[in-house]
Structure 1
Amino acid sequence: MTLTRRSFIAATSAATGLIATPAILRAQGKLALRMGHPHPESDSWQDVALWMNETLNEQSNGEITLQVFPNGLLGNDPTMINSVRAGSLDIALTGNPFFTSLAPELNVLDLPFLFRDRDHVARVLDGEIGDRLRRNFDGTGLHALAVWETGWRHVTNSRRPVVEPADIKGLKIRTTPNPAHIEAFRLLGAVPTPMAFTELFTALEMGAVDGQENPTTLILNSRFYEAQKYLSLTQHAFTASPLVTNADKLAAMGEDQRNLLIATAQEGAKRQRAMNAEREQSSLEALKAEGMEAVEAPDREAFRAIVAGPVQATFAAEFGSDLIDQINAA
C-alpha cells in the first residue's frame, strides 16, 4: 500500500469525525492541521501536500502534522474557502477564480491570454505584483501561505474539434465563477456555465454541459476523457492557485511553527509548479492514448483577437489599467 493510498484511507475514515472538532489541536506542544483540496489523489496537489506533511513532521520533530483531504472530501471549492475563513478548516487549496468574489482585484490573474510563458507567470506571482495581489486577502480572514498552480487551461468537449473560434459557438462550457472566464466564453459565442470543480465530472457524464476548460494534467487525473472526445490546446488562460490558511490562527501560532509552515508551503509551491510543468506533455500523450482527439495547434491568435482586449478593458474599467500594464511589463 502506497503512502498516497494510506493517507487517502486515513483521511476518508477520519473525515466525518474531525469536521466538527477544532481545526488546530494543541496537546503537549503539538499542532495538528487539516488541509482540503478538490483535485484527485493522482494530481500534483496531492503529491506535494503529502510532501508537506512529511517535511513539517520531520522538521518539527513530530510537533506539526498535516492531514490531507483530496477529492473535495471536505466540500466543494467555496465550501472549503468558507470553512477556512470560519476557522473549522486550517488550510485550503483551490484555483484563483474561486477567491475573486472575496478579493476582486485577483481577477487580473485570470484574464485570457495575459501570460506569455511560465517564466512570465513566476515573475508576476513571486515578485512585487504577487505581493500586492496577496495583500487583497487582508480583511477576508484568509492568509495566502503560497501560490501553487492549476496551469494552462485548454478546451475539451463531446461534440466537435475546436480549431477556430467559430467551433466553440453554441457549446455549453463549464467555467469557473470568475468574471473573466465567463465573459471570454460569452464573447466566443459559447454558453458559459459556472460550477464547482467537484460537480464537473457528473455534469459532463450526464450531458448537462458539452465541455469544460482545464489543464491536460487535470483532464487526465480527473478522467474527463471518459466523457469528452475532443481536446483543443487553446492555452487561453493560466490559473494560479492560492494555498490559504485562517489568518487569526496563523497569527496565534508560535513563531517557529508559523515560520516553518510558511517556508514549507512556499517550497511546496516551487515543487508543485515544476511537477505540473513536467507532467504537461506526458498527460497529453496519455489523453491521446485514451482516445481523445487532440487539436495541438488551434488558431490561438484568432481566439486572442476576440477575447483578450475586451476582457482586459472590462477589468481596467473597474480597477484601472496599471496592474495589467505592470504584468505586461514584467
Structure 2
Amino acid sequence: MKSLKAGLLAIALMAGVNHAGAQEVQVKFAHVGEPGSLFADVSQEFAKRANEKLAGEAKVVVYGSSQLGGDSELLKKLKLGTVDLALPSTVMSSVAPQFALFEMPYLIADRDHMAKVRDEVVRPQLYPVAASRGYHIIGVWENGFRQITNNVRPIKTPADLSGIKLRVPQGVWRVEMFKSYGANPSPMALSEVFVALQTGAMDGQENPLVQTYASRLQEVQKYLSLSDHIYTPAFVTAGLSWNRLPEDVREVLQQTAVEMESYALEQGAKLDEETLAKMRDAGLEINEVDRQAFIDASRPVYDKFIKDVEGGQGMLDKVRELQPAS
C-alpha cells in the first residue's frame, strides 16, 4: 500500500512539474513608434492575428515608444536574444551597406513599385545579406515617404536647407544626403527629437507624416515641406532567439508577417492622407518642393552608393526596371 501511495505521489508531482513547465512562450516585439503611428498600428494588428493563430501556445507582446530602446539598441538586443522581434528601418544601412538602397532619393515611385521591389529585390538579395550578419527578416512593412519639417523657413529647393540643423535617423547615408543639400544633419534617436526641437538644439527633422504626427513634432515645428525625398521600408526582424522558438510558432510568425505586408502599404496610404489634414489643422505652413531640383542635387549620393556598395549598380538597375511606365 505504501509503495502504491508513493507511486501515485510521484505521478502527481511529475504532472505538476509538467504543467508548470508548459508556460506560454512570450514573443517580445519592440519598435520605436509612438501610439497612433503606422508602426504601432501594424504591429498591434500583427500581434492580434498571430495570437489568434497561436491559440495560447505563444503570445506576441508589443513594446512600442522605444520602451526597450532605440533602433540601434534594439539591433543589439536582437543579436543578444533579449528581444525576439524588432522593426528597424533606416538603421539597417548600419547592418550592411546594401540596405542603403533605400537611402537613395526619389528611387521608389509609389507603393505599387515598392511591392515589386520587396518581392524581386529585398527578398532575394537583402534577406541573405541580413542573415549573414545574424538577422532573420520575416517581412517587409512600411515606414513611409519622408517629409521635412523645420522652424526656419519653407523648404522649396535644396538651397533652402542651407545652415538648418536637421535631425536625421541613425546611419551615415542620410547625413551624406542632407550635407550635399547644404543642411547640418545630426543623427539622433527618435525619442530625443521632440525636446531637441522644442529647445532649439535642432531646427528641423524629416520623417513620414504619421511618425511626425504621432511623435507630436507638429507642436514644435512651423513649416512642413512635402518633399517625398525617400521611401523607407520597415523590416520585421528576428535575431538570436529565433531558432529557440518552436517551429510551429516560427511558421505562424513568418506567415503573419508576410500577410501584414499589403495591410501596411494600404494603411500607410490611408494614414498619409488623414495625417496631412491633421497637420494643416494643427497650423503648420505646408508647401510643395521643387522635386527636380532635389533630384539633380542627389547625384553625389548615387555616385557614392555605386562606388562604395558591392552590387549597388545592379540593384539600382533592377529597381528602375520595376518602376511604373511614365
Q: Tell me how far apart the structure 2 counterparts of residues 27 and 78 of structure 1 sit (CA, whole Å).
A: 34
TM-score normalized by the length of structure 2: 0.88
User: Which position in structure 1 is the counterpart of 2:13?
Assistant: none
- Unpaired segments of 5 or more residues in structure 1? 1-25
1:27 Cα deviation (Å)? Answer: 4.1
Letter of the 2:304 partner, please give it: T
* Amino acid in the other structure paired with 1:253: L
Distance apart, 1:123 and its partner CA: 0.6
Give distance in 2, aligned partners of 1:327 and 1:56. 31
- Deviation larger for 150-159 or 110-119: 110-119
**Distance (Å, rounded) in 1 between the aligned partners of 2:139 and 2:104:** 21
Q: How do residues 295-310 of structure 1 correspond to structure 2 at under 5 angstroms?
A: 295=287, 297-307=288-298, 309-310=299-300
User: What's 2:253 paired with?
Assistant: 261
Give matches, 1:1-330, under 5 Å: 27-28=21-22, 30-95=24-89, 97-246=90-239, 248-295=240-287, 297-307=288-298, 309-318=299-308, 319=310, 320-330=312-322
Q: Secondary structure of 1:264's match?
A: helix
Q: Decide whether the 8 Å contact of 1:154 with 1:213 is kept in 2.
A: yes
5+ residue gaps, structure 2, are: 1-19
Q: Deviations over 1:226-256 (max 9, x none)?
A: 110000001110111111112x432333322
- Look up the SS of the partner of 1:78 in the other structure: helix
Alpha-carbon distance in structure 2 between the residues aligned to 1:127 and 1:251: 26
Aligned residues: 301
How much does 1:139 deviate?
2.8
Q: Using the alignment, how far apart are the partners of 1:118 and 1:57 within structure 2?
A: 28
Identical columns (%): 32
Could you tell me how far apart the structure 1 residues matched to 2:243 and 2:306 are?
Answer: 34
Residue matched to 2:10: none
Please tell me whether Structure 1 or Structure 2 has the larger radius of gyration of its CA atoms: 2
Asked whether the equivalents of residues 38 and 211 of structure 2 are also in contact (C-alpha less than 8 Å), the reply is no
Kindly provide the amino acid, as one letter, of the partner of residue 284 in structure 2.
M
Q: 1:304 Cα shift?
A: 0.8
The equivalent residue for 2:15 is: none
* Contact in 1 for aligned 2:84/2:242 (Cα 8 Å): no
What is the deviation of 1:147?
1.2
Q: What residue identity is the alignment partner of 1:84?
A: L
The TM-score, its normalising length taken from structure 1, stands at 0.87
- Cα offsets for 1:156-192 (capped at 9, x unmatched): 0011111122211110111123333111111111101
Once the 2 structures are TM-superposed, how far is the Cα of residue 214 of structure 1 from its aligned partner? Answer: 0.7
